[in-house]
Structures are given as structure tokens and as C-alpha cells.
Chain A
Amino acid sequence: MGMTEAILLTVFTAATPLLIAAMGELVAERSGVLNLGVEGMMIMGAIGGFAFAQMSGNPYVGALGGMVIGALFSLLFAFLAVTLVTNQVATGLALTILGLGLSGLWGEAFVGVPGVKLQPIVVPVLSEIPLIGRLLFAQDALFYVSIALVFAVSWFLFRTKGGLILRSVGDNHHSAHALGISVSRVRYLAVMFGGACAGLAGSHLSLVYTTQWIENMTAGRGWIALALVVFASWRPWRILFGAYLFGAITIMQLHIQALNLGDLEFLPGPVYGIMALLKSIPAQFLSSLPYLATIAVLVLISRNRRLTLINTPAMLGRGFVPDR
């Protein structure tokens, strides 16, 4: 495997959890619910996935467990935000705080325990295509799931009746209610789908990305997933693009940190100079790049107020109480 291929492979691995989590949140937000608890659901999925994989010895059971934990955990949010009509921003934060605490308590026994890795599934023949073969056809199951999710969500939202109902609830819950649609049922399902995705994304971190349990290991990825939804202006395919962009930024800073200048002396002078310059930047500044990039991207996207308003689900963040 060549150097470029190896780097691209790590980009794919970094992008997958972002893509899955953001896809779930996209569906929740399209139904009008702003769930800021992605970080909390994701970390619960990370520990849940790790714990189930440990107990069963099977990483697939782990991934499924992480997904179920994420979905169940999101029910807490749904009950408050949908049934009790609480402030969605505060409730989402509560979910994140609780998730970080519960996962820490649960994960205490797993600190330093070697994990079970979700092995790549190698598709014969196709994986032998130069360059893209190994990237697209020799990946772990969750990579295939993430790509399938983009197709599935995009098809569901814009090509099915269920998708139409979901979007109508997000765009005008009063009309949807008047048409006899159960707003709360749609929103419960959408939130749980988001929770399942966030949980699955979390289990990717503990079963593929690091294969161990580290406290607070999501490190803001849940929030980046939320930002991706805004970045994508609530469109599935743009999330795919955004996730890979952020995967690339995350990986780039790691590679610069790991760079060994001694190995690069063959490079032409100016290129070597740039590399040396990048290498001289303290690690902490490089590590803050994904967060700064998120801010930069949000600024670029939000500048056009009119464009953002067109795409935002009109009822986003607003609770629904039927009139009687």
C-alpha cells in the first residue's frame, strides 16, 4: 500500500463517524427537532459498543449494542422535548452532560482494556483496483453502512411518502397536525433514528478508530456533526462532502504532528521548507485546526442569511402543543 493510499484510508476512517452521526441528526432536524445531545449519545454509543463487544467477543454485536444504546438514550430527550415541550437547546445539553457522566461511570472498568476490532470486509476482485480499490472495497462494515445511509436517507426524504410527512412536520407542524399526522410520533421516530446513528458513530470510534475506551473520547465530534448539518444546509449529499472535508482536516493535522523531517530530505527545498515550517507549529495549535475549521465553515455558510433561511426546517427547535 502506498503512502497516499494509507493517508486517504485514515481520512476515510476519520470521516465515517462524522458522516453517520450527522446523517442521523439531519433526519431529526428535518422533523423540526434540534437535538444538541449528539455528543452525549455518541459517547454512550462508544462505551456501549465497547462494552457489548467485550461481553460477546463479537464487534458486530458491539456495533449493534452501541446503536441500541444510542437510540434508547435519545428517548430521554424525546420524552422531554417532544412530550413535555421543554426547551430543546437546554434539553440537548442535558443529554450531553448526562451522557458524558454515565459513560465515564460505565467505562471505568474498561480503561486500558484492549478492545475488539471491527475487521475490514475485503470485496474480492474489486478491492484490487489500483488506488480506489482498497479505499472503497476493503473497509469495515460501518463504512459501507455510512455510504448506504447517504443513499437511503436521501431516497427516504425526497422520494417516499414517509419522507414527505417527516419534512412537512419539520416545516409546519400545525398543518401536519391538521392533516391528521401525529407530530409527536414522527418526531419520536426521527429523534430515535438520530440516536441510533449517533450511537453507531460512537461505536465506530471505540471499535474501529481507536479500539479502546478512553474517557471523553468523542472530543467534540458530536458537535462537529451538528455543525456539518448546518454546513450541508440540511442536504444528505452535502453531508458526505463535509464529513470527508473534516476527516481530511483531522488527519492532516495528525500526519503533520507525526512527520519525521529526516525522512523528507529528498524533497525539493521549498517543499521541505514548508513541511519544516508546519512541523514547527506546536501540536496543540494543529489539534485545534478541526475546531477552527468548523467555525470558519459555519461563518462561510451562514453569511448568506437568505439562503440559510430557505433551507432551514421552519419549525426547527420549536415544540409543538396542539390547540384545542
Chain B
Amino acid sequence: MRIEVSRRQMPSQLFSYLSPVIALLLTVLLGAIVFMALGKDPVQAMYSYFIEPLTETWSLHELLIKATPLILIAVGLSVCYLSNNWNIGAEGQFLMGAVAGSAIPVLAPDFQSFITLPLMLVFAMAGGAAFAAIPAFLKSRFNTNEILTSLMLVYVAQLFVDWLVRGPWRNPQGFSFPGTVTFNDFALLPEMFPASGRANIGILFAVVAAVLVWLMITRTMKGFEVRVLGQNPRAGRFAGFSSAKMTFFAFLLSGALAGLAGIIEVAGAVQHLNEKLSVGYGFAAIIVVFLGRLNPLGAIVAGLVLALTYLGGEAAQISLQISDKSARVFQGMLLFLVLACDTLIHFRIRFVTARSVSSPKVENS
């Protein structure tokens, strides 16, 4: 038996909505099999992975905290990928944004004013954008592969943060643990419902960013430019669009949003800068982009789903004694299955046996 794909004349509307859902269901099914192979009760495992975190108020708060950076980063990346700019280094831009934003409370701890926090957010966006400008510059000026350069810069950013929090920025009262001083109240994001959990207003930034970018892509000339240059660079050039400018636009936008995500994580959940800041949000956000079908609004839903895999991983670690690495496995499987299911949108898939090859088949499309 062989598998044959043939191009559909029109993308399937049905599958463009169904494919992420099918992918998610298949991931859960496959996950259950993996847990069974590890000798755990699959039903109980899936319950504690995907349902239990949703049953308690405090964990819903945690869900929002984890979804915030994922959504913010993914919204920016969706513009990159739509315009055919492969920014893989959001993790680095997230970290450098966190560093730039943290500079204010770390270097000027006495600057306690209502503009401290807004200033930190602006610094973080500038920091993330500046770091993203490096691969954009190299791509547009020297034709350098942006996938590799943006990714290499992730390692550079990680080492840089490591040096900062162990060296010049280390909290002298930190009992020799790496990390900066805990931020003062003016440098922290306000919590939304302090009575029931720690979720902060960061999620509002994420939702607003998603809506704004969605409006930009679907309703404005700039969004049209993004899509044309992404789908057909030649046509874009004839229309007078500059792909070099688009590279900068996409990278700076996604860098700024990743930087914003970084400072929200620092000034929200963690409250100081340390070397373990990111748990791979920059890479998980790539999955969010594809699960959300490169749509900023889709990224909101997809971000919540991916956040659930993080929480589920922690829950499974406690209740089933399974390593929290299982979250990474789920994320990888999810991206695989999303990509596989997306094939259904543009292609018809046939299973061909030796018999059906010899018998002529009437194409009805």
C-alpha cells in the first residue's frame, strides 16, 4: 500500500477548521498510548494531564500566566511566518527583553513611581526588537539564513543572562543563588484577582496584541503586503513592496512582542530576573503559531492549549510520578500532528493498494 497526495483545486474550508482539532485529539490519543507504555492508567493520566488543571481556580490563574508569553510571542511570530521570515530565535528576544526591562528596577531600585512599570515595558519591547534586528539586518544586508542566525543568538542570550545574574546584577543578599534583587511594588505587574490566584494583567496585553495584529493583517494595507510577500515574493516585488523592509517589520514586531512577554514574565510571575527564566516559551510559541493556523486570534486559543500542556506536565509529575519532560513530548507530538493534519487542507490523500493502481479511477473534481 502506498500513500498518494494530490493537490486540491481549492483549499478545503472544512479541514482548515477541523485540522487543529483532529491534531489535538490525535495527540491526546497518542499521549494515552505513551502513558500506557510507561505502565500508567491512560484514562487517569489523561485526566490529570488535561482536565485536572482546569478544575481549580488557582490553576486557572497559572494557566493564564503560562498562556500570556506563549500568545504574545506567537502573535509576533505569525506575522513573521506569514511574510516568510523564519524567526526561530524568539527565546533569545524574550530573554533580552526581560534584561532590558529589568535594567530599571535593578540599576535604579530607588526609582519608584507610577511610570516605572510602563517604562520597563517600553524598554523590554525595545530590547527584544533590537535583538531581533540583528538577524533581520544580516538577512536583508548579507542574505544570511535567518533561521540559523536567530537561533544561534538564543544561546548567546542565555549565556548573557547567566553572566548578568551571576555577575554584575547578582543580589548580594541572595545567599549565593544567582538572580537579581526582588523588584519593588512599582516595578511589578498588578494582579487581576489577588484573592483567588496570581494571574496578572499580562494576559490583557496578550489579548490586545492579538486583536490589534489580527486587525492589521486582515484589515490594513500592511497586512496585505505581509501576505503577498509571504505567498509570492515576485508578485510582491512587482507591486512595489520591499521584502527587506518587510523582514525588518516582521522581526522588529515579533522581537518587541517577545521582549514584552519577557518582562511580563519577570515583573509578573517571577518578580526578579534569574537564569531559569524561560522554560522554552520561545520554542513552544512556534507550535502555538501553527496550531493557531498562523492567525493571531487562533494563537489565543492555541496558547491556552499549550499552556495546559505545561500545567499538565507538572500535574502528571506530582500525581503520576512521570517526568515533567512529558510536556515537551506532548508539544512535539502536537506540532507533528498539526502539520500532518494541515496537509488535508491543501491535498487530497489516497491510500493506494496494488489493485487500485491498475484499475483506472474516475476523478470527479
Kindly state the separation between the CA atoms of A94 and B342 in the bound complex, as whole angstroms. 14
Interface string of A102-125 (1 = CB under 8 A from B): 101100100000000000000000
In the complex, what residue of chain A is closest to B151 when comparing beta carbons? A223
**B residues within 8 A CB of A284?**
159-160, 162-163
Pick from A94, A230, A283: contact of B339, CB below 8 A.
A94
Interface residues on B, range: 35 or more
**B residues within 8 A CB of A156?**
none
B318 interface contact, C-beta 8 A: no
From 57 to 87 in chain A, residues with beta carbon under 8 angstroms from any chain B beta carbon are 76, 80, 83-87
A91 interface contact, C-beta 8 A: yes
Pick from B151, B328, B339: contact of A90, CB below 8 A.
B339
Pick from B162, B287, B336: contact of A80, CB below 8 A.
B336
**B residues within 8 A CB of A282?**
163, 167
Interface string of B137-148 (1 = CB under 8 A from A): 010001111011
**A residues within 8 A CB of B208?**
none
B183 interface contact, C-beta 8 A: no
In the complex, what residue of chain A is closest to B286 when comparing beta carbons? A93
Q: Tell me what chain A mostly uses at the interface: helix, strand, loop, or mixed.
A: helix
| Pair B167/A93 contact, Cβ less than 8 Å | no
Q: State the Cβ distance, B95 to closest chain A Cβ, in Å.
A: 13
Q: State the Cβ distance, B218 to closest chain A Cβ, in Å.
A: 22
A149 interface contact, C-beta 8 A: no
| Pair A291/B153 contact, Cβ less than 8 Å | yes
**A residues within 8 A CB of B142?**
299, 302-303
Pick from A87, A99, A291, A308: contact of B156, CB below 8 A.
A291
B15 interface contact, C-beta 8 A: no
**A residues within 8 A CB of B287?**
94, 97
From 247 to 265 in chain A, residues with beta carbon under 8 angstroms from any chain B beta carbon are none
Q: State the Cβ distance, B188 to closest chain A Cβ, in Å.
A: 28
Pick from B152, B323, B333: contact of A220, CB below 8 A.
B152
| Pair A105/B325 contact, Cβ less than 8 Å | yes
**B residues within 8 A CB of A86?**
339-340, 342-343
Kindly state the separation between the CA atoms of A168 and B199 in the bound complex, as whole angstroms. 56
**A residues within 8 A CB of B299?**
none
Residues A324 and B163 in contact in the complex (CB < 8 Å), given A97-B283, A223-B151: no
Q: State the Cβ distance, A22 to closest chain B Cβ, in Å.
A: 13
A298 interface contact, C-beta 8 A: yes
- The stretch that binds A, out of B2-10, B62-70, B102-110, B121-129, is B2-10
B86 interface contact, C-beta 8 A: yes
Kindly state the separation between the CA atoms of A148 and B5 in the bound complex, as whole angstroms. 38
Given A90-B286, A292-B156, 14 more pairs with CB closer than 8 A: A83-B5, A84-B347, A90-B339, A93-B283, A94-B287, A94-B339, A97-B331, A101-B325, A101-B327, A219-B155, A227-B145, A299-B144, A302-B144, A305-B143
User: 10 A-B residue contacts at CB 8 Å?
Assistant: A91-B339, A94-B332, A99-B332, A101-B327, A102-B329, A220-B151, A284-B159, A295-B149, A321-B6, A321-B7
